[in-house]
Each structure stands twice: as C-alpha cells, then as structure tokens.
Chain A
C-alpha cells in the first residue's frame, strides 16, 4: 500500500513538473467540443440533442491522448524494468500508474465538462448525472487504456496502434455514459446506466492491471 502511494506521488510529481500532458488533454477536449457548434450550426435544439454524445466522445478521445506515454517513458529509461523488479506485485504498480493517469487527465476532464455542457446548451437537469457518470466512467477509461499502453510497448507508431486497440473497448462506457445523461435530461432515473458504469469499473479494477502486467512482462523480456 505504501508503494502504491509512493508511485502515485512520483507520477503526479512528474506530471506536474512536466506539466504538458494535463494541459494538452483539457485543451484538446475544449477545442474539439467547441468545433461542433461550428460544424453543426448554431441551432440550439440540435446542439442540445447531441451534447451528451459530443461530450462523451471527445472525452474518450482526449483521455486517450496521453495514454501512450503511460509506460513508454519508463520503458525507455529502464525504470519499467526496475518497477517489475520491486517487491510490490506488478498489478498494484499498474493500478498506481493508472490512478495517477486518471488524476492528471480524468479529473481535469470532469472539471471542464459542465462548462462545455453549458456551451452546448445541454439541459441543466443532466449536469449532476454527467459529472456522476464521468466519475464512474473515466477511471475505467484509464484502466482499459493501460492494457493497450502495455501491449504497444516497444512498437513503432504505438500511439496510432493504441487507438485502434482501445477505442472499440471504450464503446460500453460510451453507451452507458451517454445513456445516463440522456435519461436524466428526459426526466427518467439514470440509476440503471450508472450501475452498469459502476459494474464496468468494478470488472476493470482487477482485470485490467492483471492483463497489463502480463503485457509489460512480455515487453521487457
């Protein structure tokens, strides 16, 4: 557990001092969402209709932007070898790195989402559900993304390959994330969709770090 905290703290420190990844992710999120009113036109009811989907799709793409760096820098400078040679089980280390990734990309996305929802004229009855769904959904994105980041280690053009591998796996989170917000906007209870998002997270918590560890061991052999 102490090692878990130690790794999260180190990755946060690295992210804060390098500073580019989080800013880049949020900027990408904002810019892409802002593009939609230009593309679709300023009709408020159309924007209102598509807003949950636009927010979720761009959030998925944004959270994927920094994923290829999750293990890549550690892989290149030898730190990943040393991490696998620590007395802490590798899945715990992976979980710590995914946690740090979520704190540096998932959380800023959640903070930016309500502002962008206003921009898209989303019905304000969906705001709380949007935040709740993103709180449940974005950790799954980091965890599932870690599997892809482990698999493309050492591959050339890993970033592109990573999107091809991971985007299909993001679809369930997208469906139920959008479903929850839509339900809330139309006055239904979003509980069912939120529970499914929670279930996806609970399944990803043990499975993704385990699969990622196997991928990492394969990569450093």
Chain B
C-alpha cells in the first residue's frame, strides 16, 4: 500500500492521493496514493497493463489524472513548466536522433533542461555510462543498449531531484545495470528521489514497493459505467 513514513523528513516532497487513471474508457487504477521523501526510491510492480507506465506519465505530467491530486512539497502541482524542470523522465523510447552525434544528442537535452550546461558535464555523464569513446559517433550506429545508456546519460548531464524511470534496464547488459544502480544510489545519497517501474532485475536497497495490481478497478467499474 502507501509506503510508510521514513525518518528522512516529516512530510513528503512529492505525493499523490486518490489518483484515478482512465485509458481508452478503461479504468487502469483507482484510489492510488504515493508518498516520496528525499532520498527515497519507489519501485512500481505489477503485471503488464496494471498501469506502471501510466502512473509514471501521470507523475511526469504527460497524462492528467481523471481524479485525485498530486502535490510537491505540499503544494498542488499547478505550474507545468516548474514541475518539468525538477524531473527527468526516461520512457520506452530513447529519443536518439540518428544524424546527431552522441555528444550532440546528450548536450541538446541537457541544455534544454539547464541552458548553462557545459560540454564537460555532458562528457562526464557519457563517461559514466561508458559512452565516452563513442562521443563523435552518429546515433544511428548505436546498438539498442547504447541508445538506452545515452538516454540515461541525460540524468547526469543536467541535475533534477526527481527521476521517473520506466523499465530503465531494458536492453542494458549486466555491467550497465550495475552502473545504473550506483548512479541511483548516488542520486539518492544527494537527496534525490527515484521512481522505477521494473520486473525486479534492479537492486535498490531500502526501496519502497508499490503493487499496482492492488489498485485495479472494482469489477463493477469495468462495465463502461465510467465514461
């Protein structure tokens, strides 16, 4: 259910309550709530179609909840741009432009997030994910795993407190998963928050779990009464 309070802060930095998500006339989940404190990780679990991605998109502001509210530091989310500025979202697509080089790809996203980002920071982010030797290579020559690592390098190139990662380990090899685990650990140690949807192949010590199948719609709702 809702993760218990931790001793890192008295009230959560980012929280949601009574959230209902409707996709294509189907109630994906209802009555869902979450609390995220600084340094906390939240793992979203559930079978396919239980709404892990929808919840992440909801948290990012890409989707609007049909009902319920999300709050940042106790304030309702109103300013879309301000919220976008404090999060990084990694979705199913890697948004790698085939004709831009690796460094150009990561620099563009970093500068969009924080215009003062220098190329040194972007290079450091690439180095962390083992892409520094490919910096000048066009995106179209990258493998699926390298594209995913390039997407993840955005997380480090421009800092943001909230990371929303949708199946981040897809296509990654074991060594890269370990790098991602270390990166998340450092991010949390620095006060950041992480929400990850995954099939249990990533090790996040002390993470809270949110089982989305527990928030499925009651059977009576499945009959289309809601639209």
The answer to the question of B196 belonging to the interface, with a C-beta cut-off of 8 Å to chain A, is: no
The answer to the question of B27 belonging to the interface, with a C-beta cut-off of 8 Å to chain A, is: no
In the docked arrangement, what's the CA distance between A7 and B97, Å?
A: 13
Q: Which of B6-14, B109-117, B129-137 contacts A (4 or more CB under 8 A)?
A: B109-117
Closest Cβ neighbor of A79 among chain B residues? B95
* Residues in chain A near residue B95, CB distance under 8 A: 74, 77-79, 81-82
Residues B89 and A81 in contact, CB atoms below 8 Å apart: yes
The answer to the question of B100 belonging to the interface, with a C-beta cut-off of 8 Å to chain A, is: yes
Contact of A77 among B93, B108, B115 (CB under 8 A): B93
Show the binding face of B for A, using Cβ within 8 Å.
60-64, 81-82, 84-85, 87, 89, 91-97, 99-100, 104, 108-109, 111-113, 115
Residues B81 and A81 in contact, CB atoms below 8 Å apart: no
Show the binding face of A for B, using Cβ within 8 Å.
2-3, 6-7, 10, 13-14, 17-18, 74, 76-79, 81-89, 220-221
Contact of B62 among A3, A14, A77, A220 (CB under 8 A): A220
* Residues in chain A near residue B60, CB distance under 8 A: 85
* Residues in chain B near residue A14, CB distance under 8 A: 97, 99-100
Residues A10 and B108 in contact, CB atoms below 8 Å apart: yes
Contact of A86 among B92, B94, B112 (CB under 8 A): B112
* B175 shortest CB reach to chain A, Å: 25
Q: A87-B85, A88-B81 are in contact. Are A13 and B62 (CB under 8 A)?
A: no
* Residues in chain A near residue B109, CB distance under 8 A: 82
In the docked arrangement, what's the CA distance between A221 and B103, Å?
A: 30
The 4 nearest A-B residue pairs measured at CB: A78-B93, A87-B85, A2-B115, A17-B99
Q: A87-B84, A220-B62, A221-B63 are in contact. Are A13 and B89 (CB under 8 A)?
A: no
* Contact sample, A vs B, 8 pairs, CB 8 Å cutoff: A77-B94, A81-B91, A81-B95, A82-B89, A84-B84, A85-B60, A85-B62, A86-B84
* Residues in chain A near residue B82, CB distance under 8 A: 87
* A12 shortest CB reach to chain B, Å: 12
Residues B112 and A6 in contact, CB atoms below 8 Å apart: yes
Residues B62 and A81 in contact, CB atoms below 8 Å apart: yes
Q: A17-B99, A87-B84 are in contact. Are A81 and B93 (CB under 8 A)?
A: yes
* B65 shortest CB reach to chain A, Å: 12
Q: A77-B97, A86-B84 are in contact. Are A6 and B108 (CB under 8 A)?
A: yes
In the docked arrangement, what's the CA distance between A89 and B82, Å?
A: 10
* B182 shortest CB reach to chain A, Å: 24
In the docked arrangement, what's the CA distance between A18 and B84, Å?
A: 30
* A84 shortest CB reach to chain B, Å: 7
In the docked arrangement, what's the CA distance between A161 and B93, Å?
A: 26
In the docked arrangement, what's the CA distance between A76 and B94, Å?
A: 10
Residues A6 and B93 in contact, CB atoms below 8 Å apart: no
* Residues in chain B near residue A7, CB distance under 8 A: 112
Residues B94 and A3 in contact, CB atoms below 8 Å apart: no
In the docked arrangement, what's the CA distance between A220 and B99, Å?
A: 24
